[in-house]
Structure 1
Amino acid sequence: MSSPEKPPPRLSIVCEAAPKKKADSAAKRARQAEKRRIYNKAHKSEIKTRMKKVLEALDGLRKKPEAQAEEIFPIEKLIADAYSVIDKAVKVGTLHRNTGARRKSRLARRKKAVEIHHGWYVPAAATAGSSNA
């Protein structure tokens, strides 16, 4: 006589085994820091490149004896691009806001110096005379 076939035993999972080891938070921090370092380095490099282009263009214009006032317009476009890159770097935290402001101010001062040098801009203090009182 054959015995009746037994149904296969039912296996129920009461709890899952815990993972072997939790991911190391220090290793994750190191990966994040490296990713951020590369990102920040790219931003800073772009800022330096843009500023260098503006400063070189302004120096070239300053040394040019017969420069026309219209020649400042392409340089103003370069300055606007540099401002944009600096502002974005400040927004994402790559640069401190005071550092961004200082770099923008440096570009504006250099542009104004070139305009004064060629006589395209006359400071208000020189034209206003003494005081208002």
Structure 2
Amino acid sequence: ASTRRRFSIVCEAGGKKPDSAAKRARQAEKRRVYNKARKSEIRTRMKKVLEALEVLGKKPDAQPEEVVPVEKLIGEAYSVIDKAVKVGTVHRNTGARRKSRLARRKKAVEIQFGWYKPPEPAS
């Protein structure tokens, strides 16, 4: 019979590895704060646009030039929404829906004053 000896190699552990769960918790908290700020910024910008459109819609003698400052606000809102979508704070469909909501409200005001004529549906 073979008299083979088996040796086991014992290694001493280096040090305690850092707690990965704690790191994930720190990262999650950091991301939560960033995302909260981004979403808050989106809501703020949207409210500003919607309030400006509401004020414009209630003016009896509004002029087409008065849409220009609102368009600037819409551009800023679009920018904030697009950035939030890019970094993954909001889903792209949510971003598209929010932008669409602003565009629809603007178009409704333009139609109300006759500054925009919807195209006739082709039959």
Task: Please tell me the TM-score bracket, short chain as reference.
Answer: 0.7 to 0.9
Runs of 4+ residues over 6 Å off in structure 1: none
Partners of 1:24 and 1:17 lie apart in 2 by 16
1:1-133 to structure 2, matched below 5 A, reads 18-19=14-15, 21-125=16-120, 131=123
* Cα displacement (A) at 1:47: 0.4
TM-score by length of 2: 0.87
Partners of 1:82 and 1:17 lie apart in 2 by 54
Letter aligned with residue 76 of structure 2 = D
- Percent identity between matched residues is 79
* Cα displacement (A) at 1:120: 0.5
Structure 2 residue matching 1:95: 3-state secondary structure: coil
Query: Which structure has the larger Rg over C-alpha atoms?
Result: 1
Structure 2 residue matching 1:30: 3-state secondary structure: helix
Partners of 1:69 and 1:119 lie apart in 2 by 9
Letter aligned with residue 37 of structure 1 = R
Partners of 1:97 and 1:23 lie apart in 2 by 36
Query: Over residues 37-62 of structure 1, what are the superposed CA-to-partner deviations in whole Å (9 max), with x where a residue is unaligned?
Result: 00000000000000000000000000
* Cα displacement (A) at 1:17: 7.4
Show structure 1 runs of 5+ residues with no match: 1-15
Partners of 2:114 and 2:67 lie apart in 1 by 13
Partners of 1:70 and 1:17 lie apart in 2 by 73
* Cα displacement (A) at 1:18: 1.9
Partners of 1:35 and 1:17 lie apart in 2 by 32
Aligned pairs, how many? 113
TM-score by length of 1: 0.81
RMSD of the alignment, in Å?
1.6
Letter aligned with residue 116 of structure 1 = I
